[in-house]
Amino acid sequence: MKEFTSTGLTYSNGKLLVLDQQQLPWCEEWIECLDPSHMCEIILQLKVRGAPLIGVAAAMALACYVTNNPTLDADQVLAQATKLRSARPTAVNLAAAVDRMMAAYQQSNFDHQGIIDTAWQIYQEDVELCQQMAAHGAELISDGESVLTHCNGGGLATAGIGTALGVLIYAHQQGKKIHVYVDETRPLLQGGRLTTWELNRYQVPHTLICDNMAASLMAQGKIHKVMVGADRIAANGDFANKIGTYSVAVNADYHQIPFYTVAPYTTVDLDCPGGSQIPVEQRGSFEVKGVKTLESNICWAPKESATYNPAFDVTPAKLVTGWVLESGVCTPPFLGRKEGR
């Protein structure tokens, strides 16, 4: 296997390492992924996360598995692939990456090299897709604009520079004076912990806000555009992204602020006709009732209270100004366009 380094995933000296995103920004700890079952746990615990990156991570976990265990038979490999495929249900990138790996394995007559080569292609392709989306998306941003983003669509969510955040970082690198408003993104604070960490690394001017402050900023005319990522784009352009994205889209529509989603073709699911068919992952109650920090778990709600914790929501296509894809910016109607490959 070839060595590589990305913001949240690395393969070096025969080890697949994951930057534990649950410990960011307090601590930068890399954990070694021991096998595909371990990668399933890592994905489920959101130590590695973000739609494109979980696809790449699953592919690399399988590639490492066959590299370290050359005598595995096809049934053993397929069993691990099946487990990985269902580790998280909403981001289609995960299932798509595993399916692509298995198709290549079959085509190579169950030669492990087919898996290793395909994992590398998936990784390298994602780096390039990010660069292409960044270039197209940055054209939408003018000097002096402030852009709101939700969740984390940066290098921590992809193998490259990112999706929505990649656009903003690239616009900053082009010399545009932009300002990023970062939704903290309850309940797991991907905005407050991860997007801020990335923006600080790239020295992009930004302001962190609580999710419920966005509408007020929009009303004050402080937000010129919204850019978010996606976990699955249905054939009609509806898309799932981190819970809270739909509220941002409704608020943007009310204030007539352009609202874009940025995603590669690996996030488009043409087999899914519309948003209501996208499976939405439901998570445990602790994430709503409290918060985990490095030192402690703080629970602020009564044990007896029920919770509702969908990890994603669906934004209807009619609220989307444009879908920023690697091939360019698609304006409505989306109508099952799957650009690129």
Answer for which of 39, 230, 235, 272 binds ligand MRU (CB under 6 A) is 230
Answer for which of 6, 132, 163, 195 binds ligand MRU (CB under 6 A) is 163
Answer for which of 20, 125, 231, 238 binds ligand MRU (CB under 6 A) is 231
- Helix axes 51-68 and 112-138, enclosed angle (nearest 10): 160
Q: Is 151 in the site for ligand MRU (CB under 6 A)?
A: yes
How many other C-beta atoms are found inside a 10 Å radius of the C-beta of residue 135? 16
| Least Cβ distance, residue 302 to ligand MRU (angstroms) | 26
Residues that contact ligand MRU, how many (by CB under 6 A): 18
Q: Is 51 in the site for ligand MRU (CB under 6 A)?
A: yes
Using alpha carbons only, what angle is made at residue 176 by residues 171 and 178, rounded to the nearest 5 degrees?
A: 80
Q: Is 187 in the site for ligand MRU (CB under 6 A)?
A: no
Q: Is 241 in the site for ligand MRU (CB under 6 A)?
A: yes
| Least Cβ distance, residue 229 to ligand MRU (angstroms) | 2
Piece in contact with ligand MRU (CB under 6 A), picked from 45-53, 125-133, 135-143, 200-208: 45-53
Q: Is 183 in the site for ligand MRU (CB under 6 A)?
A: no
- The dihedral through the CA atoms of 250, 251, 255, 261 has a sign that is negative
Q: How far apart are CA 93 and CA 72, in angstroms?
A: 26
Q: Is 155 in the site for ligand MRU (CB under 6 A)?
A: no
Token pair 């490999």 is at which residue? 77
Piece in contact with ligand MRU (CB under 6 A), picked from 65-73, 94-102, 127-135, 229-237: 229-237
231 is catalytic: yes
Sequence-distant contacts of 120-125: CB under 8 A, at least 24 apart: 120/1, 120/2, 120/63, 122/55, 122/56, 122/59, 122/97, 123/4, 123/6, 123/56, 123/59, 123/60, 123/159, 124/159
Piece in contact with ligand MRU (CB under 6 A), picked from 6-14, 49-57, 133-141, 298-306: 49-57
Q: Is 229 in the site for ligand MRU (CB under 6 A)?
A: yes
What is 189-233 written as a DSSP string?
TIIIIIIHHHHHHTT--EEEE-GGGHHHHHHTT---EEEE--SEE
Answer for which of 84, 157, 218, 330 binds ligand MRU (CB under 6 A) is 157
Answer for which of 8, 52, 89, 187 binds ligand MRU (CB under 6 A) is 52
- How far lies 111's CA from each of 2, 55, 116, 187, in Å? 17, 21, 9, 43
Report the site for ligand MRU in 190-219 (rule: CB under 6 A): 190
Token pair 């890592």 is at which residue? 42
Q: Which residues are catalytic?
A: 231
In the complex, which residues of this chain contact ligand MRU (CB under 6 A)? 46, 49-52, 91, 151, 153, 157-158, 163, 190, 229-231, 241-242, 311
